[in-house]
Chains A and B, each alone.
Chain A
Amino acid sequence: MLNVTDLDLSINGLPILRRVGFDIGEGEVFGLIGESGSGKTMTAYGIMGLTPVGTERGGSVLLDGDNLLQHSEQEMCAVRGRKIGMVFQEPMTALNPLKTIGDQVAETALVHGATDRSEARELARDTLERVGLPSARFPLERYPHELSGGQRQRVVIAMAIALRPRLLIADEPTTALDVTTQAQIIQLLRKLVREDGMALMLITHDLGVVADVADHIAIMKDGEVVEAGEAMTVFRTMTHPYTQRLFEASGHVPARGERGADTTTQLLEVRDVVRDYPLPRTTLFGERRHFRAVDGVSLKIGRGETVGLVGESGCGKSTLTRAILGLDRIQGGSILLDGDVIDAEQEITAGARRKMQVVFQDPYGSFNPRHKVERLVAEPFHLLEERPDRDERRARVETALTNVGLSPADADKYIHEFSGGQRQRVAIARALIIEPELIILDEAVSALDVSIRAQILDLLADLTTRLGISYLFIAHDLSVVRAITDRVLVMQDGRIVEEGDTDIIFSSPQHPYTQTLLAATPSVDRALARRLGTGGPVDGA
């Protein structure tokens, strides 16, 4: 139905795609896999004709034998939304905040002149119902900000499928969502494919998702398709070395040496911590109500130990992190770091601050773009009583950079000169430079590609082995937590619902919430076992 042949694409003369080719059959799920910068999103835009100014396209994109590349912009407007629908990565920003969801779904029909106004409204109501937003609970008059991320993604899907297109392109549709929501959205997409006989082009970096649903897959690297074919065959054979590397990296377990985690002496001790946020007053003089974000949480981290904290967005893990860092006041309980009390209300001594450092999810946002890496990495030195002189400072920055696998010469660069993975290394180097005893990693590898993530995990494991550093590893991605932690705590609605050794929790979770999380986590191995066991794509719906 869709035949992409020798698709070349360049922007202002810079080649982005080279001879990309694949076919998608009617009602088929096609997985397009690649890391960031591989050109998978640009392939989708190339098909849709939504490329930036200065783009040249070559080759052919046949939709039912009709070459889309020869269509005028006006003709493409008639194709987009009617024959090909598209769903994007970021549901929080993909909807117009000033228009109701009903209007936005109805617009798809109106703009194609398919229906009149009242019919378009009926269509919007039916379509929202089909994507799991029945108008009884989600009236058409709702605005996007009144919906959660998963619900907004359902609205975006409704807009894309309202006119029952032949093909739905979903570009990382679940990357920004929690695992349980991700599972629901994937299930919804499969249901729609089955009901409408629509083909689905699923673009993702997550092999687990693709392994579960795709009939055919293609793997892209640097603007080219390196391997393509029937999903099960590709997963079994993996002829191309890049495919093999990608698979290894996605399930990568860092080799952790004899750590000798000393769990008898506690480094961090969090006892019954409570963190309340005041809610806005509902009446002028009424009692102020509070939202309890962290509710009596206790945890311990021994020296050299790596502890994982998992939970979905809004469960309170970031709030807990801020309390441990002494950034926010707590309303109950206590936090002890190596004997020092951490309490935002009292002054936290430089001595205590020196013992812990933090690495956040977005490495770019946490650096001042105007400073050189040397200055950025040397920042924590102000916590030391005796600050190193210039030469020593330089030497220590270089050592820290070398420790994280960068070169000493990188100290003279600016942060924008680095890739995402390299920036995260700089962030870790900055955390390491004053040799803290605890590093808190708040979703520190979530935004990274699998191969870079594997490198960072190796680096972290190596640092524990060599320097005996402890980690509090906060993540929503359970497979990563499994690979790197000794113990894991599962957090839900501000409470720790289950904790224990990582192996035990993952092999026999006790709490229903942990079981749900684990079941929702995409896993290549599990998907393959299931599909090979029944000899074909399994319908999980």
Chain B
Amino acid sequence: MLRYTVTRLISLSLSLIAASIIIFFVIEIVPGDPAAFMLGLNAQPDTVAALQRELGLDVGPVERYFRWIFGILQGDFGVSYTYRTPVSELIADRLWVSLPLAIYALTLSTLIAIPTGVIAAALRGRPTDTAIMGVTQLGIAVPNFWLAMLLVLLFSITLRWFSAGGFPGWEEGLWEGLRALTLPAIALALPQASILARVMRSALLDTLSEDFVRTARAKGLSRAQALRRHALRNAMIPVLTIMGLQFSFLLAGAVIVENVFFLPGVARLVFQGITQRDLIVVESVVLILVFAVIVVAFLVDLAYAWVDPRLRHQQ
């Protein structure tokens, strides 16, 4: 197990280094000079040059890369070109919204999907299964921003249970914060839950037809016992894979839902950064998202090993 963890950690660090290089140079070759953009069309060349010096854009890309990385290692992400505030503060503020939102949505999605998938598999071919398959099909087809608007229409405008958007900040208390994130989390979770439930169902159906489930039945276990004790854990590997992918998506891909609910999240920060040529913000946020994705992948790998002894003993 230790060996497995160490090899995973090494591959995690290598991925991070590779990702930082790719992110930096891909964004560097995007056309558009931030200094020229900030000063507008009528700027004098020497003013632009001065600003470039101030922003640290006057040196070569390799040197800039190393400055950037060493800065990050010391917790200094640089200063945003447009906001003129440290990028680390910007990102930290936004992560306090995006990270809880992603965890909230993933928790909801898992709590809905796993029981639903298990019920569908246990009642395969019965009306309940057919109904679940129909609803989840619909859940996948419905875009989450549209679902978000429907939720706002129903719960904010008609029932007035939740506010239609915005985020009061965690200073207002845990309950107020969660309340503001509930509708966005549901809008994000339902399509994800539909996918996850279908994955759970098909993985479980596959394991239910395995020989060892038959062996368990021959020992005297009932269908339900065999499902619970033998099939369920074996079906978790594909479910964990999808959960890992979904978490990454929820963290980075929530831009439309964040816009619908007017949430100050990371995805909106990137979006604004791109439109304003605030390259240093874009680079930093993308790096942090990549970091999150890689860490999640690492956690998923550890979860695999926890589920499956064959991976633990792998040499």
Known: A50-B214, A96-B234. Contact between A81 and B307, CB under 8 A? no
**A97/B225 in contact, CB under 8 A:** no
**B310/A143 in contact, CB under 8 A:** yes
Cβ-closest chain A residue relative to B308: A98
The majority secondary structure among interface residues of chain B is helix
CA distance A79 to B102 in the complex (A): 49
> What is the size category of the interface that chain A forms with chain B?
20 to 34
Q: Among the listed stretches A105-113, A301-309, A440-448, which one makes contact with chain B, having 4 or more residues with CB under 8 Å of it? A: A105-113
Cβ-closest chain B residue relative to A85: B218
A90 interface residue per 8 A CB criterion: yes
Known: A111-B225, A156-B215, A282-B315. Contact between A82 and B220, CB under 8 A? yes
**B313/A146 in contact, CB under 8 A:** yes
**A145/B216 in contact, CB under 8 A:** no
CA distance A107 to B213 in the complex (A): 13
A297 interface residue per 8 A CB criterion: no
**A88/B214 in contact, CB under 8 A:** yes
Chain B residues, Cβ within 8 Å of A93: 210-212
Cβ-closest chain A residue relative to B309: A143
Chain A residues, Cβ within 8 Å of B212: 93-97
Cβ-closest chain B residue relative to A76: B220
**A96/B222 in contact, CB under 8 A:** no
Q: Name A98's contact: one of B218, B307, B315 (CB within 8 Å).
A: B307
**A80/B215 in contact, CB under 8 A:** no
> What is the size category of the interface that chain B forms with chain A?
20 to 34
**B217/A50 in contact, CB under 8 A:** yes
Cβ-closest chain B residue relative to A93: B211
**B220/A111 in contact, CB under 8 A:** yes
B221 interface residue per 8 A CB criterion: yes
Chain A residues, Cβ within 8 Å of B225: 111
Cβ-closest chain B residue relative to A84: B218
**A160/B218 in contact, CB under 8 A:** yes
CB within 8 Å of B: which of A304-346?
none
**A94/B215 in contact, CB under 8 A:** yes
Chain B residues, Cβ within 8 Å of A80: 217-220
Q: Name B315's contact: one of A81, A96, A280 (CB within 8 Å).
A: A280
Q: How far is the CB of B190 from chain A (nearest CB, A)?
A: 31
Most buried by A among B210, B215, B310: B215
CB within 8 Å of B: which of A48-74?
48, 50, 53, 73-74
B160 interface residue per 8 A CB criterion: no
Cβ-closest chain B residue relative to A145: B310
Q: How far is the CB of A365 from chain B (nearest CB, A)?
A: 18
Q: How far is the CB of B126 from chain A (nearest CB, A)?
A: 11
Known: A88-B215, A143-B313, A282-B315. Contact between A77 and B222, CB under 8 A? yes
Chain B residues, Cβ within 8 Å of A77: 220-222
**A88/B220 in contact, CB under 8 A:** no
A78 interface residue per 8 A CB criterion: yes
CA distance A159 to B216 in the complex (A): 9
Binary per-residue interface labels of chain A (272-284) against chain B in the complex, 1 for a CB within 8 Å, 0 otherwise: 0000000010100
**A81/B219 in contact, CB under 8 A:** yes
Chain B residues, Cβ within 8 Å of A74: 222
Known: A145-B309, A146-B313. Contact between A97 and B234, CB under 8 A? yes
CB within 8 Å of A: which of B239-270?
none
Binary per-residue interface labels of chain A (248-282) against chain B in the complex, 1 for a CB within 8 Å, 0 otherwise: 00000000000000000000000000000000101
Q: How far is the CB of B233 from chain A (nearest CB, A)?
A: 5
A377 interface residue per 8 A CB criterion: no
Q: Which 8 A-B pairs have the closest CB atoms?
A: A81-B220, A81-B219, A93-B211, A86-B218, A80-B220, A96-B212, A143-B309, A108-B219
A interface residues with partner B (beta carbon < 8 Å): 48, 50, 53, 73-74, 77-82, 85-86, 88, 90, 93-99, 107-108, 111-112, 143, 145-146, 156, 159-160, 280, 282
22 CB < 8 A contacts A-B: A48-B218, A50-B218, A77-B220, A77-B221, A79-B220, A80-B217, A80-B220, A81-B220, A85-B218, A88-B211, A93-B210, A94-B215, A96-B212, A96-B234, A98-B307, A107-B221, A111-B220, A111-B221, A143-B310, A143-B313, A159-B215, A159-B219
B interface residues with partner A (beta carbon < 8 Å): 125, 210-212, 214-222, 225, 229-230, 233-234, 307-310, 313, 315
